[in-house]
A and B are shown apart, each in its own frame.
Chain A
Amino acid sequence: MIKDFFKTLVSNRKSLAGLCILGFFVLVALFAPVIAPYPPKIDRLETITAIGEPSLDEELVAEDYPSDARDVLTYRSTLTKDYTKTIDYFPLRSRPSAAHPLGTNHAGNDLFSQLVWGTRISLGIGLATGLFVTILSLTLALLSGYLGGVVDDVIGFFTNVMLVIPGLPLMIVIAAYITMKGVLPIVLILGLTGWPYPTRLLRSQVLTLKNRDFVRVSKSLGERTSFVVFREILPNMISIAMAEFFATSMAAILGEATLEFIGLGNVTVVSWGTILFWAQANGALLSGAWWWFLPPGICIALVGTSFVLINFAIDEISNPRLRKR
């Protein structure tokens, strides 16, 4: 069944396109050190030309005259070589050129390198949040939907309360108070504000499956609960869980960009969102520096579209009616 699943994914034209785009970005992220000409935060090029021959220096460090017939002299001998260091600073806010295909930003960092390296962070945050939320909501949905009763009521209650609080304001409240280090806080913020909706969705699916004949049969045959959940229900949830994974990942990528834009993320890491943040903080669009402002936005849109395209295929797999006639 899993094999069929992937076969369908690849054969569908839309999802193939989506997979290609996503695959492209994943490759870029993995091979960033090779593809990007510079590290993301470098603003200069240093070249050392050794010109001197090594020479031996001797320096008197200490003297001791313990007696008339003895001198104790301590020398330091060092090997020195002259060399020249040439530091070429990258131009600030420059237009695209041969040396810098997308120009440089306000601090002289190469924007193309930043875009490439930023793929890791943006894609990483998106997929990590998607994974986090999917696992969390799947667990909660299975517990809540299958066990029912008090567990369902409690989880359902928390879900409802969290659903009532709008995502962006809550994100702002949390982000404004914690001390930002690294990108883990961002994943947590996005994840903790994003789990209620998928949980609800997945729970309804669990409920639907619970009442299906094959599950009923399994239960009446006396199978253990864990068997029923993991071998009967869960496999049938794969497609909808994956759809939710991609939807959440896309929301996370957009959410990260928005958080960075408002200034609440971690502006010291290099991601597509922070490139946009610095672009706006430096009036890039206003100056007409489209090479600074447009590429990150387009990359975000491309990744998002790839998720949507993949989801098309997943929808068609889980719902045969959607397939091409």
Chain B
Amino acid sequence: MKKRVLMAFALCALAVALTFGQTPKRGGILRMTPAKQGVLVQNFNPFSPASLESTVGCFYETLIYFNFVDGSANPWLAEKWSWSKDLKTITFTIRSDVKYNDGSAMTVEDVLYSSLLGKENKALDLSGLWSEGLQTVTASGRDVSFTFAEVNVTTLEKFGALVVVPKPVWSKVDPLTWTGNLSPVSTGPFMLEAGSFNEQSYKLVRNPYYWQKGKDGKPLPYIDGIQYVSTTNEQVGFKLLAGEYDWAGYSLPNIEDYVKADPEHNKYWFPEGNLVFLYMNNLRAPFDNVAVRKAIAGAISQRDITRKMSPSPAPAAMSAVKSTFSDIARGATAKYDIKRDVSKAKKALEAQGYRLNSKGVYEKAGQALSFKLYVPTGWTDWVGAAETVAGQLKEIGVEATITQAAWPDPYQYALEKGDWDLAISFISVGSTPHTQFTRWLHSSRFAPLGEKALTFSNMRYKSETVDKALDAYRSEPNPARQKQYMATVVEQFMKDTPCVPLFFNPTWFIYSTRNFTGFPSPADPYAWPIVNGMQKTPILLRLQKR
């Protein structure tokens, strides 16, 4: 009898423990660094290019959540979607339980209104859908349908940038120039604490009407709010080591000192961000000769460049693809990879008819391999990398003189006009390799020397094989076939070597688990920890007080 009572008691206790173990801890104010330095101005207008980074993600939300880590599309304000048979129309079903932070309900009208804003005024087209061939948007019941002129399944990810704003508020003002959005009415998990905004800080508190629920059945987020306190590059090191932030999106050169300050709690994770590479102007001699390009690639040691940078970013492979997508580059790498080999590079140049002149620089027909290497002024890590690159090029008899030019002009201007030989630049890798390579190599963005090429497409390189594969990808919904197309692109890219990938800019994510747990990490990379946009929202919703 006693034993059975004990057993029952134990089982009850276990049940209670299990239930309480599920109860998440609520409370706590997360201390974050704002991306903007200096004086903060109260701008939460999502259509303004100068809005604060908490605007989208903390206040406003998007139709779907497109995860940049694995390229997956997840339901958010829309609970499901489907493509039509001809792949030209996509229909989203909108959630019915979403409320704004003033208690009013979000309706399909609001979604329709937000989608149509970009039609008349291109500056309001935050998602870029109207420039991608969107023709009409219609609503019926809880569904909103978007019809495109051509088949392009890659537009799905653009819905991850379609911000939903309340029509009753925004239809009364000019969205682009409205400065009155001081305490936004929005669907997001946070709202502004009244009176908390001043020139160096502001505080967000939780939205009591938020539509997502936590494990305990009550609305998310678990944390009570976020306190933003601005800082500068000179100050942030001191503040981080003194433990004044829980989440910082700043670059910290001596990150090891940060970890040493509190080894148990202070952590960091720098996932690969944008790709930085050595640009060669493919339309200018001698870079129009693929052998010369390959020789230059043979002089570069990415490992040597990155180990001198602090903290060391991830070196890039010659395939220019992020490590999470490396399987599409396997075939190409086996065939066309170039490893650093100084003597092989020198021999290749000599085979092209170059001879060393008295200064130790290769020369052919009176033209020495001596160029200006453009770097943006003041970008210290790139300038350091450029110095290493120049040293490596010197070893194969190519002279690169580092020339700093202010960003974005005249640096970007010179690149676009085509008036340059070598430069260090970056490509925004976007959410998938398709986005990256389309931006980079597609001939629709190409322009001959003297005319302005589109952003990022300044290499003056184009290839029909690449174009065909990229275009075919757009109308192919099957992921396996999509990968094959990308493999073709990467193979052609590596075969032609139009540029030399160097390293991936780190995404700055420095955090401490002293007060909160639930941050993403290399072991658990569930979200991409950038402070702009929707990428941070799943993180903010998962954080719990310690």
Direct contact of A and B (CB under 8 A): yes
Contact across chains for A283 and B410 when beta carbons are under 8 A apart: no
On B, residues with C-beta under 8 Å from A are: 234, 237-238, 241, 252-254, 257, 307-310, 377-378, 380-381, 383-384, 387-388, 391, 401-406, 410
With A267-B383, A287-B257 as contacts: A176 and B308 at CB distance below 8 Å: no
Q: Is there a chain B Cβ closer than 8 Å to A207's Cβ?
A: no
Contact across chains for A283 and B404 when beta carbons are under 8 A apart: no
With A107-B387, A107-B388, A108-B308 as contacts: A286 and B404 at CB distance below 8 Å: no
CA distance A43 to B304 in the complex (A): 12
CA distance A277 to B380 in the complex (A): 9
The 5 listed contacts between A and B (C-beta, < 8 Å) are A106-B384, A107-B388, A179-B410, A268-B402, A283-B310
Contact across chains for A286 and B254 when beta carbons are under 8 A apart: yes
Q: Which residues of A contact B308 (CB under 8 A)?
A: 43, 92, 106-108
CA distance A287 to B254 in the complex (A): 7
CA distance A76 to B391 in the complex (A): 33
CB distance from B185 to the nearest CB of A (A): 40
Contact across chains for A263 and B377 when beta carbons are under 8 A apart: yes
Neighbour of B234 across the interface among A264, A268, A280, CB < 8 A: A280
CB distance from B256 to the nearest CB of A (A): 8
Considering the complex, give the chain B residue whose CB is closest to the CB of A266.
B404
Q: Which residues of B contact A278 (CB under 8 A)?
A: 380, 384
CA distance A217 to B116 in the complex (A): 87
Contact across chains for B380 and A281 when beta carbons are under 8 A apart: yes
CA distance A263 to B257 in the complex (A): 24
The 4 closest A-B pairs by CB, nearest first: A263-B378, A283-B254, A283-B253, A286-B237
Contact across chains for B257 and A268 when beta carbons are under 8 A apart: no
Contact across chains for A107 and B406 when beta carbons are under 8 A apart: no
Considering the complex, give the chain B residue whose CB is closest to the CB of A263.
B378
Contact across chains for B310 and A282 when beta carbons are under 8 A apart: yes
Contact across chains for B406 and A177 when beta carbons are under 8 A apart: yes
Chain A 98-123 interface 0/1 with B at a Cβ cutoff of 8 Å (1 = within): 00000000111000000000000000
CB distance from A110 to the nearest CB of B (A): 15
Q: Is there a chain B Cβ closer than 8 Å to A135's Cβ?
A: no
CA distance A89 to B450 in the complex (A): 43
CB distance from B127 to the nearest CB of A (A): 33
CB distance from B328 to the nearest CB of A (A): 34
Contact across chains for B238 and A286 when beta carbons are under 8 A apart: yes
CA distance A30 to B335 in the complex (A): 54
With A106-B308, A177-B406 as contacts: A286 and B383 at CB distance below 8 Å: no
Chain A 264-279 interface 0/1 with B at a Cβ cutoff of 8 Å (1 = within): 1011100000000110
Q: Is the interface of A mostly helix, strand, loop or mixed?
A: loop
Considering the complex, give the chain B residue whose CB is closest to the CB of A177.
B406
Those of A25-45 within 8 Å (CB) of chain B = 41, 43
Contact across chains for B241 and A286 when beta carbons are under 8 A apart: yes
Contact across chains for A180 and B404 when beta carbons are under 8 A apart: yes
CA distance A281 to B388 in the complex (A): 17
Q: Which residues of B contact A280 (CB under 8 A)?
A: 234
Interface centre among A93, A107, A181, A283 (most CB of B within 10 A): A283
CA distance A264 to B377 in the complex (A): 7
CA distance A263 to B234 in the complex (A): 12
With A106-B384, A180-B404, A266-B404 as contacts: A281 and B377 at CB distance below 8 Å: no
Considering the complex, give the chain A residue whose CB is closest to the CB of B375.
A268
Neighbour of B377 across the interface among A41, A180, A282, A287, CB < 8 A: A180
Considering the complex, give the chain A residue whose CB is closest to the CB of B411.
A179
CB distance from A258 to the nearest CB of B (A): 13
CA distance A41 to B402 in the complex (A): 14
Contact across chains for B387 and A283 when beta carbons are under 8 A apart: no
CA distance A108 to B237 in the complex (A): 22
CA distance A92 to B311 in the complex (A): 12
CA distance A281 to B236 in the complex (A): 12
Beyond known contacts A180-B404, A263-B378: 8 more, CB 8 A cutoff: A107-B388, A181-B403, A268-B387, A268-B402, A282-B253, A282-B254, A283-B252, A287-B254
Q: Which residues of A contact B254 (CB under 8 A)?
A: 282-283, 286-287
CA distance A280 to B238 in the complex (A): 12
Considering the complex, give the chain B residue whose CB is closest to the CB of A42.
B391
Interface centre among A93, A107, A181 (most CB of B within 10 A): A107
Q: Which residues of A contact B384 (CB under 8 A)?
A: 106-107, 278
Q: Which residues of B contact A266 (CB under 8 A)?
A: 404
Neighbour of A267 across the interface among B238, B380, B401, B403, CB < 8 A: B380
CA distance A106 to B384 in the complex (A): 9
Contact across chains for B237 and A264 when beta carbons are under 8 A apart: no
